[in-house]
A = this chain, B = another copy of it.
């Protein structure tokens, strides 16, 4: 094996570890998952796992960053493909919700924020929120440029819109003991989110 192959192999190993960890964190949450369990899932020794990730925190951080990157990438593709800002904002909301549904680590992270969250994860949440705000701000700016939307400050409004979406999700998820969202609850959340987005868009649209 030459050194280039070694680098590739190491990279794909890292990717595999992150994917397996992602599934386990997603299923059981970070607190209830041990490095031993992830090593077992990978049929790897604990020592080998620690060679790639020195602790559970750094592995969890890698999982979160992977999820964030995928999400932002998917949304950015959407932003480039749809031309009407109002339609785009609706699409953004839908994509966001289904993404949170399928990849639960981020939403869980927010739930766990109420107990004891390490500063390193808080940074990841803040960084993600900033990236999301940029996307929404872009949609709102575009809507103003096209003479569709009317609002004072796109930065503040983007932030407010995201807080409201987050608030709706918390309203549904936090009233219950488990971290899993049942299909019925997800449907209610989807319904509420669509109704809210509709009113919000009407509220910023020039008629």
A residues neighboring B (CB under 8 Å): 113-114, 151, 156-157, 160, 163-164, 166-171, 174-175, 192, 195-196, 198-204, 207
Contacts and interface: CB of A to CB of B under 8 A. Distances in A.
Contacts of A196: 160, 164
Contact of A164 (B114, B164, B202): B164
Given A164-B196, A201-B203, 18 more contacts: A114-B114, A157-B195, A157-B199, A163-B171, A163-B192, A164-B164, A166-B171, A167-B167, A167-B169, A167-B171, A170-B170, A198-B203, A199-B199, A200-B200, A202-B202, A202-B203, A203-B203, A207-B207
A156 B195 contact: yes
Nearest to A151: B199
Nearest to A167: B167
Closest 4 CB pairs of A and B: A167-B167, A203-B203, A199-B203, A202-B203
Contacts of A160: 192, 195-196
A interface, over-half SS: helix
A164 B203 CA distance: 15
Contact of A170 (B167, B192, B200, B204): B167
24 contacts: A160-B192, A160-B195, A160-B196, A163-B168, A163-B171, A163-B192, A164-B167, A166-B167, A166-B171, A167-B167, A167-B168, A167-B170, A167-B171, A170-B170, A170-B171, A198-B203, A199-B199, A199-B200, A199-B203, A199-B204, A202-B202, A202-B203, A202-B204, A207-B207
A168 B171 CA distance: 10
A189 to B, nearest CB: 10
Contacts of A202: 202-204
A170 B169 CA distance: 11
A164 B175 contact: no
A163 B167 CA distance: 8
A164 B169 CA distance: 10
A75 B36 CA distance: 57
